[in-house]
Amino acid sequence: MPAWLTIEEYRTLTAVCERLIPADQTPGAAEAGVPDYIDGLLGAFSFDPPRIWAGGSFSGRHGGLPGFARFHRLTALDELAWRTRIEGSLGRPEREFNGVVVGLQERYREGLAALGPDFCHCGPDEQDLRLRSLAPFTQLVYDHSCEGMYGAPEYGGNRDAVAWSGIGFAGDVEPRGWTDHEVSEA
Amino acid sequence: MDRPRGIGGVTVDAIIVGSGPGGSTVADILTAAGWSVVIFEKGRNHLIDLEHPYRLADDFSNDEIKFINRHFLGPDPFLEPRTFRTGPEDGDHSFVGDVNSIPSTVGGGGTHADGKVPRFREEDFGLLSTYGPQPGASVADWPLTYADLEPFYADVERRIGVTGDAAANPLAAWRSGPYPMPPGPSMYGAVLSTAAAETLGYHPYPAPGATNSVPYDGRPPCNNCGFCAFFGCPIHAKGDPVAMLQRALMTGNAEIRPETFVSRIRTDGHRATGVDFIGPDGVERSMDGRYVVVAGGAVETPRLLLLSGFDHPLIGRHLMVHFQTIAAGGFADLRFHAERGRAVTHLHDDALVPDDPSRKAAAQAGLPWMRGGIVEHGGTGLPILEAKLYRWGPTHKENMRRSPLRDRLWAFTMQGEDLPVATNRIDLDPTVRDVRGFPVARYTYKPHRHELAASAHHGPRMAAILEAMGAEWTSVVTSPGSVEGPGGRASVDAPMSRHVMGTVRMGEDPATSVADSIGRLHQLPNVVIADSSVFVTSSGYGPTLTLAALAARFATAMVS
Ligand SMILES: Cc1cc2nc3c(=O)[nH]c(=O)nc-3n(C[C@H](O)[C@H](O)[C@H](O)COP(=O)(O)OP(=O)(O)OC[C@H]3O[C@@H](n4cnc5c(N)ncnc54)[C@H](O)[C@@H]3O)c2cc1C
Ligand code: SF4
């Protein structure tokens, strides 16, 4: 079950992400879990602590105690900022000190609806046409898809670090780091 | 409003606003002399266990989402925006949001800088007497010389723990002793780019670094994790300003109050008496201090002085931000793996020293003289940043695998000297507020002709080094990006360099400067400015070591 999107929306989003970063010889955005990254951001506040900042110091992938999965607690101000960014200002004065803020939830809900209920079933050319006609929304999803794809797996995307291995990137490397030789030689 | 005063009625010796490299240096020196100090920091603490300061926090990580995309170290541009405009012709502002902000967190920008900390050269303190004036700029000498500052440079290099090779840079100023640590390993790309630079007559050298190359001060050597610039160090191998803050806390004479914003410096008309502050509970309180040290950085410091109602006409003026020129080259046959190692391991300073070609270029541009800045040899190792540069669709993954804009890219970044211009300034935005209801800082900035000419001259020279290295293609861009041209005014972005200076200029004469040669406001001598706000000119070197050396000089003057 998605954390915030409806099943329908999740399905459309999956098709969008896969069109933006399609599979070839290695997995694309859908298989890498990018829709879960985005849904995890939109639904960050259904977790405690909210899934905004993964913990430190190490993931455990290169030694050390794994800490990434313990998300940081937010202060009242952090929560105000992230709730406003995600939910929008919703007419609440404490969120509108510099004006109205349209939240990510609203942008996704409207953007996914505008792509049409049949988006999943369209051919790639039709999908591209619709994505191009909604350029600002597509850009937003693409930016988030890049984060989900190539960010730490603890945020829901890049499942099993599949996107990192696909590009030969080691990801987080502490506490192993790199030897002087690995730094200075080809 | 309820305003309890002081900690348990006690007046502290010094209130320090800001826990970055400037404020931390002051705290280290004052607490060692037995002064009681309270450091106010508006950002969160992710650095030190404040109860047990021998323990450092485990909040930092190799996590691009957290540090780059989600403002982990602050300031959050929603809670604390800044505004930008090039001049009154843009109206109140043309942009609201993140204007080249530096982290707002315990440790300030020191926590996430990659810590290249070179000293200035001798003539940087006497630009007017060395090179003469520039029309349209307020070029002036500093009220102190390199020789005055040298002992403090040496002192802060030891406090922070700086690596370097004293013999490696023939263009460096003289030094009284060696660096505390030898240089760390050279990045592979820098091995190639320094060799190419040398064949063209430049003088590259290992960047002096605030990152341990050997165990130092109880902290481990850097292990080259690569998530360095813009990230906190997970193993605390960066000394700046962890070392100073930790030492200050261990004396028992210092207290850090995170998530606490200083909103006003209180005065009795002749002297400061303390500050008003708002803590995590949102309540405004005040505290008395014998001294108020302001080290909020060159944007927040003038903002606080203006919020306090101080009225010297030069507060906020002469804002300087290094003019960046970036030459990038693509290499079909090389992979640089720039994610291994610190962000930048080598520099060259040649553009800071006028030579015949640069003198000729200056003359052609109608300028009496011109200087560039340090040139950083670097690559990029961040895949999210890279991915966003490529087009979406079927070509995306092939691009990521071939990696023309990350793994096959090498670049030089020149941090060009920015001349002090009185109309470039920080003031209070007339309409935009921070989350606590206070007016935010507004940049009014456009580069002087000098920066544009120096960039136009040095950009192609950097590209030529990349070509000598074997680049298939090169490209030169600047920040700010587009500027006034013959076709009219194009949009100018806010400058990207995080080297921000000026705004509380120091000098001997209260008519032409705001602070004196030991950082005290001419109008309120127990207010000391301990950051790059006091810089008279910007040089073309990263400001951090110089601002820490000044902070050490000012703090030493306070206790003696
Ligand atoms: C990615 C990156 C790389 C960099 N690399 C280099 C480099 O290689 N070399 C170099 O020389 N410089 C570098 N810099 C710049 C360097 O970070 C700054 O020069 C340095 O941090 C400035 O130190 P400071 O103490 O003056 O101010 P800051 O580090 O900005 O610290 C000021 C602190 O004061 C706090 N504060 C401000 N106002 C208030 C208030 N009213 N109340 C309470 N707290 C307040 C802020 O939250 C902040 O934490 C880099 C910066 C970045 C972002
Ligand atoms: S490269 Fe070195 S100093 Fe930089 S964050 Fe990694 S371990 Fe720390």
Other CB atoms within a 10 A radius of the CB of residue A78 amount to: 21
Q: Which pLDDT score, from 0 to 100, does residue B192 have?
A: 98
Residue ranges around ligand 2 (CB below 6 Å):
B 211, 222-228, 231, 233, 235, 237-238, 342
Distance B240 CA to ligand 2 centre (A): 12
Chain A interface disruption, residue of B58, B61, B72, B193, most A CBs within 10 A: B61
CA A186 to chain centre: 33
Q: Quick check: B151 and B176 in contact, CB under 8 A?
A: yes
Which ligand has its closest atom nearest to the C-alpha of A174?
A: 2
Q: Which pLDDT score, from 0 to 100, does residue B106 have?
A: 97
Q: How far apart are CA B150 and CA B128, in angstroms?
A: 20
Q: Which pLDDT score, from 0 to 100, does residue B482 have?
A: 59
Q: Quick check: B307 and B426 in contact, CB under 8 A?
A: no
**β pairing state of B12-17 and B284-294:** parallel
The domain limits of chain B are 12-559
- HSE of B408 in the Cβ direction (CA atoms, 13 Å)? 18
Q: How far apart are CA A8 and CA B71, in angstroms?
A: 31
Q: Which pLDDT score, from 0 to 100, does residue B489 have?
A: 45
Task: Measure A97 CA to nearest chain B CA, in Å.
Answer: 7
Q: How far apart are CA B216 and CA B155, in angstroms?
A: 15
Whether complex ipTM tops 0.90? yes
Name the CATH architecture for the domain at B12-559: 3-Layer(bba) Sandwich (3.50)
The arithmetic mean of pLDDT across residues A40-64, rounded, is 98
CA dist B412 → B139, B205, B274 (Å):
27, 14, 45
A-chain residues near B383 (CB < 8 A): 150, 163-164, 167, 169
- Nearest protein CA to atom 2 of ligand 2, as residue: B222
The domain limits of chain A are 7-184
A1 band by pLDDT with thresholds 50, 70 and 90: confident
Distance B297 CA to ligand 1 centre (A): 6
pLDDT beneath 50: ranges in chain B: 1-6, 8, 484-490
Among all chains, which residue has been given the structure tokens 């993964």? A54
The whole-chain average pLDDT of chain A stands at 97
Q: Which pLDDT score, from 0 to 100, does residue B492 have?
A: 59
Q: Which residues contact A96 (CB under 8 A, 6 or more apart)?
A: A89
Q: Which pLDDT score, from 0 to 100, does residue B2 have?
A: 44
Q: Quick check: B327 and B459 in contact, CB under 8 A?
A: yes
Q: Quick check: B14 and B23 in contact, CB under 8 A?
A: no
Q: Which pLDDT score, from 0 to 100, does residue B375 have?
A: 98
Task: Measure A6 CA to nearest chain B CA, in Å.
Answer: 25
Q: Quick check: B203 and B349 in contact, CB under 8 A?
A: yes
- Nearest chain B residue to A96 by CA distance is B435
Distance B236 CA to ligand 2 centre (A): 8
B-chain residues near A130 (CB < 8 A): none
pLDDT in tens, B309-333: 999 999 999 999 999 999 999 999 9
Among all chains, which residue has been given the structure tokens 């990434």? A68
Which ligand has its closest atom nearest to the C-alpha of B226?
A: 2
Q: Which pLDDT score, from 0 to 100, does residue B486 have?
A: 41
Q: Which pLDDT score, from 0 to 100, does residue B6 have?
A: 45
Q: Which two tokens stand for residue B311?
A: 């009225």
Q: How far apart are CA A179 and CA A168, in angstroms?
A: 18
Q: Which pLDDT score, from 0 to 100, does residue B301 have?
A: 98
